[in-house]
Amino acid sequence: MLRQVAEGVLIHESEFCQSNAVVVHGRAGVLLIDPGVQNHELACLANDLSDSGQTVVAGFSTHPDWDHLLWHPQLGAAPRYGTARCSASVRDQLSDPDAKAHIADHLLETEIAGQVPLDLLGLITALPAETAQIPWDGPQARIIEHQAHAPGHAALFIEERGVLVAGDMLSDVLVPMLDLNGTADPIEDYLAALRLLESVAGDVDVLVPGHGSVGGADQVHARIERDRAYVLALREGHVPDDPRIGPSAKPGWEWVSDVHDGQAKRLARRSERDGTPG
Ligand SMILES: [Zn+2]
């Protein structure tokens, strides 16, 4: 079921990790951002759109993680954009002929095993580097690309509607998940990304994270601050005082504490290895 969060902007929430698909109404159809996860949810979204007389004229994936790269045949054949870096990362992943089989294997450990349509995964059209906005006939969707959670990760800011689609940043349930593969300074990258999001925060009325609850204007700075505090604590090697981990984690989200432990350990090993402080 689609739920309106701002004029002409609706979300479709998945049962899986509270993933949010975002629909933005344009003049000739909709822009669909991170369509969703399970087959029946994607079909439901496609039906909701066709029932309301809407077709998808453009897609966008905020970053190259499988849960943001899915599609359903009923959503049609519109171009599905991503940043140049996102698209390069997807191409690289899919150059392994077993890539989809690995994702399917990984899903076997979850409650959505066999429910995720992988056929159309990752058919991303690269936007040229430095593209400022989504090429489509609708409210301007500014691309705010940064290096933080994944290569070529981008938030979209739909200024006319006051909506920031944050991808896997600024979640109320997931702690910042750093990209620890292949970037020289994941902590500083993440802090820089938060500063970039902060530069538009004053104009945001509605914040839609890739996973978690939609936030109002009052949540934007609070979530940026909380993520920054988390990342700074990681840098200093402190245990972050963060409601998303430990005993205060929401029921069903206890695994986020394991994500935290895992990245804290990897960062500690990294700084031991190259002698960088903290
Ligand atoms: Zn995700």
pLDDT computed for residue 16 by the predictor: 85
Q: Are 209 and 263 in contact (CB under 8 A)?
A: no
The residue-averaged pLDDT of 245-259 equals 92
Residues composing the chain:
278
Distances (CA, A) of 42 to 15, 104, 141, 193: 12, 17, 22, 30
Instruction: Quote the mean pLDDT of the chain.
Output: 94
Residue 211 Cα to ligand 1 midpoint, Å, equals: 6
Residue spans of alpha helices (H) in the chain: 39-51, 84-94, 99-107, 186-201, 217-236, 255-274
Residue 135 Cα to ligand 1 midpoint, Å, equals: 24
The residue-averaged pLDDT of 248-270 equals 92
Q: Concatenated DSSP letters for 168-237?
A: SSS-SSSPP----SS-S-HHHHHHHHHHHHHHHHTT-SEEEESBS--EEHHHHHHHHHHHHHHHHHHHHT
Q: Which residues surround ligand 1, an ion (CB under 5 A)?
A: 67, 168, 210
Residue 168 Cα to ligand 1 midpoint, Å, equals: 6
Name the CA dihedral angle for 217, 218, 223, 226, rounded to a multiple of 10 degrees: 160
Residue % of the chain over a pLDDT of 70: 99
Residue 37 Cα to ligand 1 midpoint, Å, equals: 10
Residue 67 Cα to ligand 1 midpoint, Å, equals: 6
The residue-averaged pLDDT of 168-182 equals 93
Q: What is the pLDDT of residues 102-135, one digit of tens each?
A: 999 999 988 898 899 999 999 999 999 999 999 9
Q: Is the pLDDT of residue 260 over 50?
A: yes
Residue 69 Cα to ligand 1 midpoint, Å, equals: 10
Q: Are 208 and 22 in contact (CB under 8 A)?
A: yes
Q: What is the pLDDT of residues 66-79, one digit of tens each?
A: 999 999 999 999 99
Q: What is the pLDDT of residues 210-239, one digit of tens each?
A: 999 999 999 999 999 999 999 999 999 888
Q: Are 43 and 21 in contact (CB under 8 A)?
A: no
Residue 149 Cα to ligand 1 midpoint, Å, equals: 9
The residue-averaged pLDDT of 166-195 equals 94
pLDDT computed for residue 276 by the predictor: 59
pLDDT computed for residue 278 by the predictor: 47
pLDDT computed for residue 263 by the predictor: 94
Residue 275 Cα to ligand 1 midpoint, Å, equals: 31
Residue 65 Cα to ligand 1 midpoint, Å, equals: 6
Selected residue with higher pLDDT from 191 and 184: 191
Degrees (nearest 5) of the Cα angle 144, 206, 134?
35
Q: Are 244 and 174 in contact (CB under 8 A)?
A: yes
Residue 203 Cα to ligand 1 midpoint, Å, equals: 25
Residue 122 Cα to ligand 1 midpoint, Å, equals: 14
Residue 17 Cα to ligand 1 midpoint, Å, equals: 8
Instruction: Please state the separation of Cα 202 from the chain's center in Å.
Output: 21
Q: What is the pLDDT of residues 132-174, one digit of tens each?
A: 999 999 999 999 999 999 999 999 999 999 999 999 999 999 9
Q: What is the pLDDT of residues 6-30, one digit of tens each?
A: 999 999 998 889 999 999 999 999 9
Tokens of 88: 């390069």
For 171, left (φ over 0), alpha (ψ -120 to 50), or beta? beta
